[in-house]
Amino acid sequence: MKTCVLLLGIFVVATAFAAERWWSPDKFYSIVPPTGWKHSESKTATGSSDAFTSPDGQSEVRVSATYHLNLPDVLPEDVLELAFPNERGLAPIKRIRSKGWDGLRREYTNAKHTKRWLGVTARRGSTAVLLTMVAPEKNFEHYRATFEAVSESLQLCE
């Protein structure tokens, strides 16, 4: 009986942490957003992005892509910096790689130090995907593991 209760407990915990992979409409990129975060889509004249907002409304994961770019072999740091024109980088930009893509990663803060971002740009071929994750500066460390998991879940297809 104790074994059944223990296994049921483990199953409930594992199910609570299991999240469903979200795919872009064209199925080119995907992430595993945090479980229980609200999905929304924003469309503008220049493109669209998808956001996942925390239940308390304080934090957000946002992902978008730009297609048919003429990028050099070495991804320019400007590709990530353009997404944060009014923010200040907290450390040097890191070059990152994953399955079939290369990219850039950096943390940012605003002038008042009230918000903090983790920004990732991933490139495969002529497409760049921008992944931004933001939380109040005072709560950023609380969300760090969540943001790292989302960042590590980023996949780009062919």
Encode pLDDT of 3-50 as tens digits. Answer: 433 333 344 334 344 579 999 999 999 999 999 999 999 987 667 899
Encode pLDDT of 48-83 as tens digits. Answer: 899 999 999 999 999 999 999 999 989 999 999 999
pTM of the model: 0.85
Strand 94-98 relative to strand 101-109, pairing: antiparallel
Q: Cα(31)–Cα(103) distance, rounded to whole angstroms?
A: 15
pLDDT of residue 44: 75
Show the domains of the chain with their CATH numbers: 20-156 (3.40.1000.10)
In DSSP terms, which residues pair with 127 in a beta bridge? 124
Encode pLDDT of 129-142 as tens digits. Answer: 999 999 999 999 99
